[in-house]
C-alpha cells in the first residue's frame, strides 16, 4: 500500500522512497529510509498534506509524494 492511503493514527514501516532524487536526498538526510517506522499524525483534505512522525521528528509530505512511497501497516497493539 502507499503512504498516501494510510489512515490517520496508523503506524507503518517504510518500504520505498519516492522517485524524485531531491526528495530522496532530503528524506535520507532526516533519517527517513526504508525500514523506519512512520506514524500518520494528521491528514489534510484528500490529496493534501500528510503530517507524519518518525522517532522524535515530525515532517509533512504532499499526497502525491506520499503516493510514491510503499509501506506496510504495523498491526495495532
Task: Give the pLDDT score at 48.
Answer: 84
Burial of residue 66 (CB within 10 Å: 0-12, 13-18, 19+) is buried
The CATH number of residue 22's host domain is: 2.30.30.90
- Report which of 48, 50, 61 is spatially closest to residue 17, judged by C-alpha positions: 61
Total tally of structural domains belonging to the chain: 1
Task: Give the pLDDT score at 45.
Answer: 82
Residue 60's domain comprises 3-73
Q: Tell me if residue 12 falls in helix, strand or coil.
A: strand
pLDDT tens readout for residues 3-62: 999 999 999 999 999 999 999 999 999 999 999 999 999 998 876 899 999 999 999 999
Amino acid at each position: 500500500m502507499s503512504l498516501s492511503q494510510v489512515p490517520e493514527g496508523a503506524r507503518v514501516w517504510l518500504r520505498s522512497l519516492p522517485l524524485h532524487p531531491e526528495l530522496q536526498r532530503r528524506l535520507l538526510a532526516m533519517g527517513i529510509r526504508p525500514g523506519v517506522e512512520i506514524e500518520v499524525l494528521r491528514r489534510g483534505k484528500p490529496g493534501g498534506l500528510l503530517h507524519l512522525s518518525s522517532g522524535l521528528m515530525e515532517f509533512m509530505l504532499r499526497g502525491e509524494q506520499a503516493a510514491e512511497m510503499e509501506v506496510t501497516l504495523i498491526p495495532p497493539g
